[in-house]
Structure 1
Amino acid sequence: MAGLIDKAKNYVAEKVANMPMPVATVTDVDLKGVGIEGINYGAKVSVDNPYTHSIPICEISYTLKSADRVIATGTIPDPGSLVGKDKTILDVPVKVPHSVLVSLARDIGSDWDIDYELHIGLTIDLPVVGNFTIPLSTKGEIKLPTLSDLWSKNPPQSSV
């Protein structure tokens, strides 16, 4: 009897290990706006769902680093779900306080941008498996707005 249970456990473990998983990539990081409390950036995450049914997203967590220092962190609880057998584009808003930018003056002063590293954790609820986090990471530089950009409708773009 114990041998049958072990065979069943191995069978289930093998099937779960070979399940297709959603694939996610960070496609863009851009300046969204400047406010009194800080500068708002937005990351776009593209997720391909291999399943025919939608998958609920539990939360999206993010950490934005520059010069090996964390400059913004946050979570977005219950941001919706991934459409079945399709690509879903998720918006991840990131707010960087002005006070943090002052502490990065050396990096900013040389080329008026922030060299960044963005880590995103996309936690989804997979059937049978349960909660599963897809780790994402990207590096690039974010151009900071100049005074003329603050009054312009075309803010600077970043490079991913």
Structure 2
Amino acid sequence: MGDIPLIPPRTPFLVQTHTNTQLRSSYNRFKFNFTINKETAGMSSDDKPEIIERGAKKNEKEEGEENSGFLDKVKEFIQDIGEKIEETIGFGKPTADVSAIHVPKINLKQCDLIVDILVTNPNPIPIPLIDINYLIESDGRKLISGLIPDAGTIRAHGSETVQIPLCLIYDDIKNTYEEIQPGSIIPYKIKVDLIVDVPVFGRITIPLEKKGEIPIPYKPDVDIDKIKFEKFSFEETVATLHLKLENKNDFDLGLNALDYEVWLCGESIGGAELAKTQKIEKNGITYLDVPITFRPKDLGSAIWDMIRGKGTGYSMKGNIDVSTPFGEMKLPIKKEGGTTRLKKKGDDDDDDEE
């Protein structure tokens, strides 16, 4: 016969037995304890879920406070790290200021402005100037606005002057706002938003404002009050034009130069360019003596009316170069259909005394 495998002996299953007296005693103790617990709590067995629910709410509150405290600590940690990086690397917010406003060109049609903005970059790397938004307004009325994209880069640890060219077209302003009259001075406010991109901080908008005044220039009125002969002959006559200039602007004009051409009886008698320095008060009148030489025989029969002292028709046009509080201007002068008188040198009348 083959070998029979050995089977390990089973561990005996022990059953603990109790007498009836022991079981009854244990039951009575359990019953007594259960009753005491109920009376002490002052509640029914149905109230046990409420106790559990309150305990759960308390646990949730404690967990929420723990989570909130944890997030606050994380935020403080991140902020502290950012400040340490900023201190170590040297990142900071750029600054800007309107350093100057230039008026390179001003005339009866338009006023060109150039706004200089000094931008300082304290960072160790160049920062891009993403956009420039600008607005010019006068007493709340928008004159012009616009956007300049990709305006350049500000070098590291340095400053750059950013120039913003602006152009005010007077016809556009007067057509939009009828109450703005030629010859007046209006207040303006320039608003500029510089948008830059800075590491650590991200995109930053730097708002700037600058106030000032701009003129709405008006051309002067010109008249030839009279013509005085210094030397008269049919071949050549030397005379002096007695000009009357009226400044209709709310600002003074400093006359620097004058160029002109004159027509008598429809015939040109010539013109000239000359340097002339004289102040023309705002809303005032000034007189200029301008020499001229012409040939009376070229005027035909009209010369006899001139000699007889009758009124002589004339026209005149030219330009005056003036200085103003807002810059240099070249203003046109023009007169058509005027009438003047011819006077001999030495003639006395009340009109000669100004």
Same-fold call, TM cutoff 0.5: yes
Aligned to 2:117: 45
Question: 1:67 and 2:136 equivalent?
Answer: no
Report matched runs for 1:2-41 at 5 Å: 2-3=70-71, 4-11=73-80, 20-33=92-105, 38-41=110-113
The letter of the residue matching 1:98 is Y
> What's the Cα RMSD here?
3.6
Q: SS at 2:173's partner residue?
A: helix
Counting strand residues as a fraction of each chain, which structure ranks higher? 1
Q: CA deviation at 1:143?
A: 4.1
Report matched runs for 1:106-121 at 5 Å: 106=179, 112-121=184-193
State whether residues 108 and 218 of structure 2, in contact with CA within 8 Å, keep that contact through their aligned partners in structure 1: no
Q: CA deviation at 1:68?
A: 1.6
What is the TM-score with the length of structure 1 in the denominator? Answer: 0.76
Q: Could you say if the C-alpha distance between residues 151 and 73 of structure 1 is closer, same or farther in structure 2, counting changes exceeding 3 Å?
A: farther
Q: Could you say if the C-alpha distance between residues 91 and 154 of structure 1 is closer, same or farther in structure 2, counting changes exceeding 3 Å?
A: farther
Aligned to 1:58: 130
Aligned to 1:81: 153
Question: 1:157 and 2:326 equivalent?
Answer: yes
Q: CA deviation at 1:89?
A: 0.3
Aligned length: 157
Q: CA deviation at 1:16?
A: 9.0
State whether residues 62 and 74 of structure 1, in contact with CA within 8 Å, keep that contact through their aligned partners in structure 2: yes
Select the structure of larger CA radius of gyration: 2
Q: Could you say if the C-alpha distance between residues 157 and 17 of structure 1 is closer, same or farther in structure 2, counting changes exceeding 3 Å?
A: farther
State whether residues 143 and 156 of structure 1, in contact with CA within 8 Å, keep that contact through their aligned partners in structure 2: no
Q: SS at 1:84's partner residue?
A: coil
Q: Could you say if the C-alpha distance between residues 5 and 136 of structure 1 is closer, same or farther in structure 2, counting changes exceeding 3 Å?
A: same
Q: CA deviation at 1:98?
A: 2.5
Q: Could you say if the C-alpha distance between residues 113 and 127 of structure 1 is closer, same or farther in structure 2, counting changes exceeding 3 Å?
A: same
Q: SS at 2:116's partner residue?
A: strand
Counting aligned pairs with the same residue, the percent is: 24
What is the TM-score with the length of structure 2 in the denominator? Answer: 0.38
Q: Deviations over 1:92-126 (max 9, x none)?
A: 112223234315565565x7433111110000011
Q: SS at 1:9's partner residue?
A: helix
State whether residues 31 and 156 of structure 1, in contact with CA within 8 Å, keep that contact through their aligned partners in structure 2: no
Between 1 and 2, higher relative CO (CA 8 Å, sep ≥ 6) is seen in 1
The letter of the residue matching 1:31 is V
Structure 2: state its 5+ residue gaps.
1-66, 220-254, 257-318, 328-354
